[in-house]
Structure formats: structure tokens, C-alpha cells
Amino acid sequence: MSLLKKLFGGSLGNKSLSDEALKIAAFRHAVGGDRTGLKQLLHGQADRIEALFATWRQVPAELRDNPSDIQDYGSCLVFIAEFLKDQGRPGPWESLMGEGPNGSPIEELSGRMEHAETLRVAGLFAEQIACLKAWMRDAEGLSGPWIDDLRAKVMGALGQAELTVGNLDGARDWTVHALETCEANGDSEGVRTYSTNLAIIDAFALPPHPAKADLLLAQRLSDKGRYAQSNGVLDAILDHFDDGTADRWVHRGKLLGLQGFNLAKLREFDRAAEATQVAADHCRARGDNDGAVIYTINLAAIAELAAKDHAPHPP
């Protein structure tokens, strides 16, 4: 017996399908545009499909990086929702489809996103940005998991496009919006993607100044046991940045971690712990788990050194 017969055949009965199997069956019919098959599946299952449809609107994580896959998935949702509407069940259609200011349904918006990707591949970045900004305007007022997922993608694409044309402020603003939207949606993969993009943008935003070279110099001085001089170089790096800029610098965790190490070697344990804690927090906020673990271990070592330093010495 074929897999299709196992899914749709009468021997098992539609009621035997799990929620996931029911979704797979419905999407297989939608991919092929098979209204007859979908109608057969709906027999005795319409209530379940209508109830489950809200969970289907969330784009699977493995499809979110490809605008074409997102559009194909959306087309299947539209096919199923439209079929349900024709069967007298308009709820999924009304929840999925919305009308923007110009009467653009979500299906058209997903297609326009793919067009923006085509412009990017062709190197037409100004046109891509204009297309994506028009998308944002036409999507105002629309909500729901499907449109929210697309909106995050569009804002992320705008961030990358603005970076490409050298508009660092615009790139950062759009990427922050994409990151915040993914956080609100519970999209952990999107959070990781846009956190990484934000770090890249911040690295590009560094002034034309040998800050990274100075950090390497500070590391070499520390390796030679010249801890105070090393911290002098680190302080000069921080003094160079405008207020708030240093907090966004991708290498700030390493700078503060090295500063904490130097202070511990100089037996200034309270300041060492403070700098190392900030270094760990900075890495954690950026998704740098390795850095966060390293500086957390360093914190424990500093606490142990401080305890030994303050312990009474035998006479």
C-alpha cells in the first residue's frame, strides 16, 4: 500500500491521522492543487483542520531562510484556506488574508518579497530597498504569525541591503527591528541570525581607528606581564569611542575580559570581578556562549584568588 493510501485510504480512516499527519496530507493536496483530494480529506476532519489551521500559519524554521520556500508555504496555506472558505468555513481565510491600504493580500506581499530577492541577486540594491519599504507600508495593519514572520524577514533584508549601500544607521535600525520582532514571536533562529547580523553591522560601524590593533597590543603587553601598561592601552581604546558606541563594539567582551585579567594580576580583585562580569554579560547578550563561559570561569577564579588573598596567613 502506498504512503498516500496509508494517509488517505479508508482502511485507517481519517480519524486515525495524527495532527502532524493531517497537516502533511493537507499540504500534499495543496502542493498539487488537488481540490478533490482535499475535499475527501475534509470529510469528517473539517473541524480539526479549522482548529489546527492557526498553528499551521507559523512558517517552519527550516523554510525561513529562503523567500521562495516561504512563498510556496504561504501559497499552500492560501489554497487550503480558500478551499475551506468555499466549503462555508471562512475563519482560516479571514485570519490569513488581510487587505492593506492598497488592497494587497498577503499572498501578493509574499510574492513581492521574492521579487525583492530577485532585485538583490541582480545587484539592484536601491530598487530592492524601495520594493521592501513599499512592502512594509502595504503590510501596515496586518497581523498574525504568518505576516509577522514575513515582516521580520523583510526588516532583516532591509538591514542587509542598507549595509550593502553603506547606510550603517539604516542597517542597524532595520536589523534591531527584525531582532525585536523575532524575540516577540519566539523565533529563536531569527534571534540568532539577526544578533549575528547586528554584530557584523557594529563591526562595520567602527571608526577608521586602529582599535583592534591596539587590543592586540594590549594582549601582547599582558602576555609579557606588563599588566598596568596593558590596561592603559585598553582605557585609551574605551576613551576613543563616543558615548554608547563602545557598548556595541563586537570586541568589547574581549577588551573587558582582558582588563579583568590584568586587574586580577595586579591584585585589584573587586575591579577585576566587575570588569569580568560585564564581559560575561556582554558576550551572553550577543549570543557568544563560549565567551560567556570563559569569563564566568574567570570570575570564579578571581573570587578564589581574592579569598586566598584575604585569608589570614599563618604566623
Q: Flag whether 165 is in a domain.
A: yes
Range of the domain at 246: 211-310
156 and 81 in a common domain:
no
Range picked from 1-10, 168-177, 186-195, 306-315 for highest mean pLDDT: 168-177
Could you give the CA distance from residue 124 to residue 269 in angstroms, rounded to a whole number? 55
The C-alpha cell of 256 is what?
A: 573587558
Q: Flag whether 128 is in a domain.
A: yes
The C-alpha cell of 27 is what?
A: 499540504
Least trusted range by pLDDT, from 21-30, 91-100, 233-242 = 91-100
91 and 10 in a common domain:
yes
Q: What is the DSSP letter of 229?
A: H
Q: What is the total count of domains within the chain?
A: 3
pLDDT confidence of residue 313: 52
pLDDT confidence of residue 3: 31
The C-alpha cell of 305 is what?
A: 584568588
Q: Flag whether 121 is in a domain.
A: yes
Determine how many CB atoms are found less than 10 A away from the CB of residue 260.
27
**Helical H runs in 205-310?**
211-223, 227-240, 245-248, 252-265, 269-285, 289-310
Least trusted range by pLDDT, from 6-20, 112-126, 170-184, 230-244 = 6-20
3 and 76 in a common domain:
yes
Examine the pLDDT at 104 and tell me if it is beyond 50.
no
201 and 261 in a common domain:
no
pLDDT confidence of residue 9: 39
276 and 242 in a common domain:
yes
235 and 225 in a common domain:
yes
Q: What is the DSSP letter of 62?
A: G
Q: Flag whether 315 is in a domain.
A: no
Q: Flag whether 28 is in a domain.
A: yes
CATH number (domain holding residue 163): 1.25.40.10
Examine the pLDDT at 289 and tell me if it is beyond 90.
no
Q: Cα separations (Å) of 310 from 10, 14, 102, 298, 305?
A: 79, 73, 72, 18, 9
The C-alpha cell of 178 is what?
A: 527584525
Greater confidence, 208 or 122? 122
86 and 115 in a common domain:
no
Could you give the CA distance from residue 234 to residue 202 in angstroms, rounded to a whole number? 19
Closest of 121, 120, 117, 93 to residue 107, by C-alpha = 93
Greater confidence, 206 or 78? 78
Out of 167, 187, 205, a domain closes at 205
Q: Flag whether 60 is in a domain.
A: yes
The pLDDT tens digits of the residues spanning 225-246 come to: 899 999 998 888 877 764 455 5
The C-alpha cell of 276 is what?
A: 569580568
The pLDDT tens digits of the residues spanning 268-282 come to: 999 999 999 999 998
CATH number (domain holding residue 276): 1.25.40
Phi/psi class of residue 18: alpha, beta or left (left: φ > 0; alpha: ψ in -120 to 50)?
Answer: beta
Q: Cα separations (Å) of 205 from 60, 88, 169, 307, 312?
A: 33, 55, 9, 41, 50
Examine the pLDDT at 165 and tell me if it is beyond 60.
yes
pLDDT confidence of residue 203: 67
Q: Flag whether 158 is in a domain.
A: yes
Examine the pLDDT at 6 and tell me if it is beyond 80.
no
Percent of the chain with pLDDT over 70: 78
The pLDDT confidence band at residue 102, using thresholds 50, 70 and 90, is: very low
Determine how many CB atoms are found less than 10 A away from the CB of residue 111.
15
119 and 192 in a common domain:
yes
230 and 257 in a common domain:
yes
Q: Flag whether 184 is in a domain.
A: yes
Burial 205-239 (b: 16+ CB within 10 A, else e): bbeeeebeebbebbbebbeeeebeebbebbeebee
Percent of the chain with pLDDT over 90: 14
Out of 186, 205, 224, a domain closes at 205
Amino acid, res. 232: G
201 and 104 in a common domain:
yes
105 and 93 in a common domain:
no
Examine the pLDDT at 253 and tell me if it is beyond 70.
yes
Examine the pLDDT at 144 and tell me if it is beyond 90.
no
What are phi and psi for residue 22, nearest 5 degrees?
A: -65, -40
Could you give the CA distance from residue 273 to residue 280 in angstroms, rounded to a whole number? 10
What are the residues whose beta carbons fall under 8 Å from the beta carbon of 35, sequence distance 6 or more?
29, 83
Out of 205, 233, 253, a domain closes at 205
121 and 165 in a common domain:
yes
